[in-house]
């Protein structure tokens, strides 16, 4: 059974710092991996989608990497801003038809001005 783990569970950094969020998964048989952002009481905002054949994806200040063989992904946030404060969720889509995503528990990020 696929399991997704995110470390750290919570992170507090001063504004301007670069930071890395970690995600690991137990089964490398995946279609893709997605990083989401969730603000308190809100739904999910998709940040980056990395296909299983890809190594990384970039969008603005965000860069996500994928090492499928080792079951790891990182989300790099450059020059963090208070507006980046949110919970970041990592999810993988297991291979096997129209499968649901399997989520990690998330990393709660606070960027202090």
Partner 1 sequence: GAVVSQHPSWVICKSGTSVKIECRSLDFQATTMFWYRQFPKQSLMLMATSNEGSKATYEQGVEKDKFLINHASLTLSTLTVTSAHPEDSSFYICSAGTRQGGQPQHFGDGTRLSIL
User: Which residues lie near partner 1 (CB under 8 A)?
Assistant: 31-32, 34, 36, 41-44, 46, 49, 51-52, 89, 91, 93, 95-106, 108
CB of 16 to partner 1, least distance (A): 27
Name, in order, each residue with C-beta under 8 angstroms of 95's C-beta and a sequence gap of 6 or more. 29, 30, 31
The whole-angstrom separation of Cα 33 and Cα 27 is: 12
Nearer to partner 1, 14 or 40 (CB): 40
CB of 77 to partner 1, least distance (A): 20
Tokens representing residue 29 in the block: 């048989």
């Amino acid at each position: 059974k696929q399991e997704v783990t995110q470390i750290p569970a919570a992170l507090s950094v001063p504004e301007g710092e670069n930071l890395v969020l970690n995600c690991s998964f137990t089964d490398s048989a995946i279609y893709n991996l997605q990083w989401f952002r969730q603000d308190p009481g809100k739904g999910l905002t998709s940040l980056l989608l990395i296909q299983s054949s890809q190594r990384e994806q970039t969008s603005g200040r965000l860069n996500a990497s994928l090492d499928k063989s080792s079951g790891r992904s990182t989300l790099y946030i450059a020059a963090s801003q208070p507006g980046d404060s949110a919970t970041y969720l990592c999810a993988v889509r297991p291979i096997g038809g129209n499968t649901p995503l399997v989520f990690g528990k998330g990393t709660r990020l606070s960027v202090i001005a």
